[in-house]
Amino acid sequence: MKVTLGTLKDKGDELAAFLEPRVGSKPSVSGDSMEFEDESVREGVKPRQVKTYIKRFLFMNGVRKKYRVFVAGKELTIQEIVTGEEAEEEKEKAPAKKPEAEAEEPAEQEEPEEEEEAARAPEPKKAKEQGEKPKKAAPKKPRASKKKADGSS
């Protein structure tokens, strides 16, 4: 069984110490991967369970929301999650090529769209300020109870 650590390779030794009593064998850690010998793994331990152990380790270290764990056969991969803000930064660093028609238009036209979005956001607040009450869902009707049929007839 192989575990690819990715950007979590600095905590590889800690993860190995955490998994050892649960899996039943000490993994060999090298670089950004960790390997368990299939013969030494405790009977009944499956890669899906090891995934759960890894997620628990991530939670205990406070980084669970930053990583995902994937299972493919007997290979597990720990991958860092790219959040929306980081994805936007990456897009800004490497701007996409625009078609010629869009390239000729001035960049000022993009700004009014942002202003429109900002103008749309306060609208729900205005409704609350005017004293309008939010709509409530209709109460649920009680279900009719089923009567048991007697077999004595």
153 — pLDDT class (breaks 50, 70, 90): low
Distance CA(57)–CA(62), nearest Å, equals 9
Mean pLDDT, rounded, for 108-132: 51
Distance CA(3)–CA(29), nearest Å, equals 9
Mean pLDDT, rounded, for 20-43: 87
Nearest to 34 by CA among 86, 93, 85, 76: 76
Nearest to 50 by CA among 25, 83, 29: 25
> For residue 54, what pLDDT is reported?
92
Pairing of strands 75-80, 2-4: parallel
Mean pLDDT, rounded, for 48-74: 91
Mean pLDDT, rounded, for 98-112: 49
Mean pLDDT, rounded, for 97-122: 50
Mean pLDDT, rounded, for 85-91: 63
> What rounded mean pLDDT belongs to the chain?
75
> For residue 6, what pLDDT is reported?
87
**Window from 23-32, 73-82, 126-135 with minimum mean pLDDT:** 126-135
pLDDT for 101 beyond 50: no
> For residue 83, what pLDDT is reported?
74
> For residue 127, what pLDDT is reported?
47
Q: What is the number of other CB atoms lying within 10 angstroms of the CB of residue 1? A: 19
Q: Which residue has the tokens 């860092």?
A: 80
Stated pTM of the model: 0.54
Tokens in use for 18?
């955490």
